[in-house]
Structure 1
Amino acid sequence: MTDYLLLAVAAFGAGVINTIAGGGTFLTFPALVFTGVPPVVANATSAVAVFPGYLGGALGFRRELGGHDRRALMRLGAITLAGGLAGSLLLLVSSNRAFSVVVPFLLLFATLIFLFGAQVRAWAARHSRAVTPQGALGLFAVSVYGGYFNGGLGIVLLALFSLWGMTAIHQMNGLKNGLSFALSSISVVTFAVAGFVEWPQAIVMMVAATLGGYAGAPIARAAPVWAVRAFIAVIGFGMSAVFFWRLAAG
């Protein structure tokens, strides 16, 4: 019961954080590992736990998604599904030892992307001419990362859209949420079919994350942005340090 309470609290916090700024994976994945779930299965279960939030985000931005060309949207969706499937399959063939080696680096990368997301997007905007608009290679690579780990995916997608030359933030957010939902859908199906999901934990966390997402709206309006970002950064760097320590000790 203590483990389930920890998982519920972590998932609730992840729902709140995802509503405010993103970064809920920093709570759900470590919580699952600390309660004894093997790293690869913990990553898959974490992806399932936060999945409802992507659905809500996609529905919330359906008007902005409708502003994109339908054929282009279908093409981008197909690339995202292919990359997400490749990343998910890569996770399935990764041993727990191999995944444990790369996790600290992935957590650190995701934390830095979250913390310096504005600078990354600004740099991407300045170099937009260097990348083909709506290019398949960049989106496929980002989708592989999202299918494999998912942390910081939203910010990486926004940076990619800036490289494509997009500037309308609401349309960018709409596309980000739509593609994130598509990617998460294929990941969840892949992990479920492969039997890599701890369903009792996942269901508890899905409910808690949904409640946290609902509670996050008033918190987002009341909490200073800098305080939220600092809190997530502390969690991200702290979890990175813990997993580096586990790697060195193991």
Structure 2
Amino acid sequence: MDTNLLHLGALALVGVLSAAINTVAGGGSFITLPALMALGLPIAEANATNRLGVLLQAGSASLTFRSAGALPTGFAWTTLAPTLVGSLLGATLSITLDEAVVRAVIGVAMLLMLALMMLGPERWLRERPEAASVGRISQALAFFGMGVYGGFLQAGVGIFLMGGMVMLSGLDLKRANALKSLLVTLLTVPALLVFLPAGLVRWPEGLTLGLSSALGGWIGGLITLRVGPRALRATLIVVILTTATKLFGLW
């Protein structure tokens, strides 16, 4: 069988696994990004190509939430501008900084996410009906920072977005989860507008990853029921630790 077909088939399976990871803890891109790198893509191309998968997966979820009337659109527009501007800046930084710096930043981000996964995001990401909304300027700055991170790396940004919406804006988890999908979809667009002209997006790999992720959500749900959230989280922790140590040149 052609090696390229084998690679695409492997990516399709990774897409399904990332969908399963996202149903439990988020951070599915910490699975897909290392997979793209393992197939030989340079880190800049892997980072850019991963955005196609993110766009299709998050976009599919957003349409589902919208059809169910679960999107708080008014809140979305008050946070959209700083998030998009931040994403544009973050993506630009990711292709202008030296590759060694990008590797170090991604490695540190992975280790931080590893700590979060081991602690369990549910410790801080929970219902806070008593939370008072902070000022609009503070919210704008917070979402700008999340946008920069999302444009630069993307992996795990959904967890931070949900944390911001729950803890800073007092949204309940259901609305925060729906809005997270919309914001991830939209912040991916300016990042792609930076990566595409630079020729960093590999279309076959990106589309395979995206379609398998978008269509594999229900399969991911079945996997979650079969193996349980602890096994999926353990898988994510192992992948993050392995990739981070590789980025730091420890093996």
Contact kept? 1:113, 1:155, Cα under 8 Å: no
Match status 1:147 vs 2:151 = yes
AA matched with 2:237? A
Alpha-carbon shift at residue 29 of structure 1 (Å):
1.0
Q: Following the alignment from structure 2 to structure 1, what is the Cα–Cα distance between the partners of residues 145 and 93? A: 13
Residue number in structure 2 paired with 1:92: 95
* 1:116-156 Cα deviation digits (max 9, x unpaired): 3122336x959956943672000100111011111111111
Q: 1:57 to 1:111 in 2, by over 3 A?
A: farther
1:61 aligns with 2:70: no
Q: Is residue 237 from structure 1 mapped to residue 237 from structure 2 by the alignment?
A: no
Calculate the TM-score normalised by the size of structure 2: 0.84
After superposition, residues 130-145 of structure 1 pair within 5 angstroms as 131-132=134-135, 135-145=139-149
The Cα of 1:197 is off from its aligned counterpart by 0.5
> For residue 174 of structure 1, what is the aligned residue in structure 2?
178
Shift of 1:176: 1.2
Root-mean-square deviation over aligned CA pairs: 2.6
Count residues with an aligned counterpart: 243
How far apart are the structure 2 equivalents of 1:173 and 1:99? Answer: 29
Aligned partner of 1:44 in structure 2 is 48
Secondary structure (helix, strand or coil) at the match of 1:50 reads helix
**Residue 114 of structure 2 corresponds to residue 111 of structure 1:** yes
C-alpha change, 1:179 and 1:114, in structure 2 (3 Å) is: farther
5+ residue gaps, structure 1, are none
Residues in 2 aligned to 1:128 and 1:181: alpha-carbon distance in whole angstroms: 26
Aligned equivalent of 1:22, options 19, 26, 32: 26
Change (3 A) 1:68 1:201: closer
**Distance in 1, Cα, partners of 2:116 & 2:132:** 22
1:18-39 CA distances to partner (integer Å, 9 max, x unpaired)? 2443222122111221222111
Q: Given that residues 84 and 184 in structure 1 are in contact (C-alpha distance below 8 angstroms), is that contact kept between their aligned partners in structure 2? A: yes
CA distance in 2, matches of 1:80, 1:171: 18
Q: Following TM superposition, by how much is the alpha carbon of 1:108 offset from its aligned partner in structure 2, in angstroms?
A: 1.2
Residue of structure 2 equivalent to 1:157? 161
Name the SS of the counterpart of 1:64 in structure 2.
coil
- What is residue 224 of structure 2 aligned with on the other side? 220
Cα 1:166–1:35 change in 2 (3 A) is: same
Give the Cα separation in 2 of the matches to 1:113 and 1:179: 21
Q: Among residues 5, 9, 12, which one is paired with 2:16 in the alignment?
A: 12
Give, in whole Å, the separation in 1 of the partners of 2:124 and 2:9: 37
Q: How many angstroms apart in 2 are the aligned matches of 1:223 and 1:6?
A: 20
Please tell me whether residue 83 in structure 1 is matched to residue 86 in structure 2. Answer: yes
| Residues 1:81 and 1:230: Cα distance change in structure 2 (over 3 Å) | same
**Maintained 8 Å contact 1:114/1:152:** no
Provide closer, same or farther for how the CA distance between residues 12 and 75 of structure 1 changes in structure 2, counting only shifts above 3 A.
same
Q: Percent of counterpart pairs with the same letter?
A: 28
Pairwise CA distance, 1:172? 1.1
What TM-score, normalized by structure 1, do the two folds share? 0.85
Where structure 2 has 5 or more consecutive residues not aligned to the other structure, the ranges are none
CA contact (8 A) 1:7 1:205 kept: yes
Distance 1:177 1:85 in 2: 18
Instruction: Note closer, same or farther for the CA distance 1:103–1:121 as it changes in structure 2 (3 Å cut).
Output: same
